[in-house]
Amino acid sequence: MLLSERQTKILAWLKQAGGHLSSQELTDSFNVSVQTIRKDLNELSDQGLVQRVHGGIRLPFHNRNLSFQSRQVINLEAKRAIGSKVADLLPEGATIFIGIGTTPQQVALALLDHPGLQVITNNLNAAMTLCHNPNIETLLTGGRIRPSDQDLMGEDATRFLRRFQVNFGIFGIGGLGPQGDLMDFSPEESYLSRAIIENSDQRILVADSSKHLRKAPVRTGTLSDVDRLVTDQLTTPMAELCEAAGVELLY
């Protein structure tokens, strides 16, 4: 389900407000009825994007990732812009990894007109997208399908990635912690990200601003493992973390 313009603004405001907003603030700001705001908040809550509390909403606490459908609509335009920036970085004939997640999926969509690549991925959506470009050779890992995330996971997938040494490793992350840690939501996801990091000449992290300073349970690495961060916008704390780690920024 796509978010309305008002729902997108509510999420952005919620984050800027420190994670809590009252229903009265929202009705006053948008000049709409209580019933209209209630409908917006119920839909956002149903998608796991907010948590309803007495008198308003707050950001949820996540020990697991949001559903794939929810992640597809969060910051969609920002993810499309990130995908386009990454596509412009990749020369013809390069070999690349594309990791799991909705932002790497947008990278694949941005490659539909690319003159030629070899892509290795465990991202089912990326592989299906790249089938439409005859100039791209796509190698898909084996492994266990996660229907909820539309990807391939497990030892077979990780072992397959480790057979290659590619020019560019493009991957997303569950969150970028306040100390510059790369965080994932499961050990399986972390193993895949490490395989990409350790078998790529250049490591490109794609993460929209909703991932900045966000925690997740599993530590995969640090920003120093990354050569370039491609994002949509940057706060001062995140810019300082990247500068300290020697990470090139593109936004």
From the CB of residue 228, how many other CB atoms can be counted at a distance below 10 Å? Answer: 19
What does the buried/exposed string (b/e) look like for 181-209 if buried means 16 or more CB atoms within 10 Å of the residue's CB?
A: bbbbbbebbbbbbbbbbebbebbbbbbbb
Q: Verify that 121 and 177 share a domain, yes or no.
A: yes
Residue-wise pLDDT for 68-88, tens only, equals 555 555 678 889 999 999 999
Count how many domains the chain has. 2
- Cα–Cα distance list, 86 to 103, 154, 230 (Å): 11, 27, 7
Same domain, 217 and 130: yes
Which residue in 215, 209, 218, 217 sits closest to 236, CA to CA? 209
CATH number at residue 50: 1.10.10.10
One domain, residues 153 and 231: yes
> Are residues 151 and 48 part of one domain?
no
- Same domain for 56 and 127, yes or no, is no
- On whether both 129 and 196 belong to a single domain, the answer is yes
pTM attached to this predicted model: 0.74
Same domain, yes or no: 176 and 91: yes
| Residues 129, 47 share a domain | no
Residue entry with tokens 């992640």: 71
pLDDT in tens, 97-153: 999 999 999 999 999 999 999 999 999 999 999 999 999 999 999 999 998 889 999
Domain membership flag for residue 208: yes
The boundaries of the domain holding residue 233 are 75-250
